[in-house]
Amino acid sequence: MAIIPDKNPKALIAYYVSLLSLFPCFGLIPGLIALTLGIMGAKAAKRNPEIEGGGHAWFAIILAGVMSFIWASLIILFFVLAAAGGMK
């Protein structure tokens, strides 16, 4: 059992990219990329248990999903407030 899933690069990349989704200047784009790669990595780990990396993939899916929702909500809120004249 390896700590770093080197046989499942999609899960590993998703894990690190999902951490970028925490930063405001990056946010939404890395979150969506991590979400996609995390799902692909989880599917690969499920298909072949020898690959491992399911934990990294699920971490990326959860973190990227939550952060993508937050950043998308903030972007929508910004535009709604700007359209309503609330950002003077």
Per residue in 19-74, pLDDT tens?
A: 999 988 778 899 999 999 999 999 999 999 888 899 999 999 999 999 999 999 99
Helix (H/G/I), strand (E/B), else coil: 85: coil
- Tokens representing 48? 């072949």
Q: Which of the four pLDDT bands, split at 50, 70 and 90, describes residue 2? A: low
Is 67 within 8 Å of 24 (Cβ atoms)?
no
* DSSP label of 3: S
Helix (H/G/I), strand (E/B), else coil: 55: helix
Q: What is the rounded CA–CA span in Å between residue 52 and residue 2?
A: 8
What is the arithmetic mean of pLDDT over 71-84? 91
Give the pLDDT of residue 6: 80
Name the more confident of 32 and 3. 32
* DSSP label of 77: H
For residue 87, pLDDT over 60 is answered with: no
Domain ranges of the chain: 9-83
* DSSP label of 27: T
- Compute how many other C-beta atoms are within 10 angstroms of the C-beta atom of residue 23: 10
